[in-house]
Amino acid sequence: MATVSSVLPAIAEGQVKDAASAKMFMSKLMNSLVRAHIEDGRIISGQLWCFDQLRNLILLNGFETRTDQEGQQQHRSLGPLVMVPGKYILKLEATKAASEAAAAAAEAEAAKEQDEADEAK
């Protein structure tokens, strides 16, 4: 059985080598369900639709989850399109399956680009 570290490249483990690798990985997460943890303790969940260079996210069918002082969670719908400002995002999570698929696709695309560059020489 493969371990997580042998299956996922460094990108998926949070060790981004360069900006191009990070952008490629994030682009492969499009349409995946994600959770954005923000500074005030809320978690905004939804389907990743797009992001920009300032790390602002647009999520489809967003939901907010709050945990009160008693440890109970409160959920509410935020609407069909939700913009989460990047300056407030502490952490972005995707399901393991989505992140593995994105990492594999990003790795394959990077290998293809490298092969094309090698053939051009």
pLDDT tens digits for range 40-59: 999 999 999 998 888 899 99
C-alpha distances in Å from residue 104, one per residue of 7, 62, 74, 110, 116 = 9, 27, 35, 10, 18
Which domain covers residue 72, as residue numbers? 19-115
In a domain, residue 75? The reply is: yes
Distance CA(4)–CA(7), nearest Å, equals 5
In a domain, residue 11? The reply is: no
Q: Domain containing 49 — which CATH number?
A: 2.30.30.100
> How many domains is the chain built from?
1
Question: Across residues 92-101, what is the average pLDDT?
Answer: 81
In a domain, residue 36? The reply is: yes
In a domain, residue 45? The reply is: yes
9 confidence band (pLDDT: 50, 70, 90): very low
In a domain, residue 91? The reply is: yes
pLDDT at 6: 35
In a domain, residue 1? The reply is: no
Above 80 in pLDDT, residue 13?
Answer: no
